Amino acid sequence: AMTQAMVIQGVKIHERQRQMKKDIGELTKVSDILNYSVGWPEGS
């Protein structure tokens, strides 16, 4: 059970990292990049 939970959390982290890379890649203004909220969205 613990291994399965670790794998599931690892997949969630990987998906979030991919989403953050995509989001940051689409930002064009320095101010938008500096204001980008790193971490998990509320309710995750």
- Break the chain into its structural domains and give their ranges: 1-35
Q: 9-14 — which CB contacts under 8 Å span 24+ positions?
A: none
Q: What is the pLDDT of residue 41?
A: 84
Cα distances from 17 to residues 1, 2, 14, 38, in angstroms, run 24, 23, 5, 10
Q: What is the pLDDT of residue 42?
A: 82
pLDDT at 44 over 90: no
pTM for the complete prediction? Answer: 0.73
d(C-alpha 26, C-alpha 7), whole Å: 29
User: pLDDT of 4-40, one tens digit each?
Assistant: 999 999 999 999 999 999 999 999 999 999 999 999 8
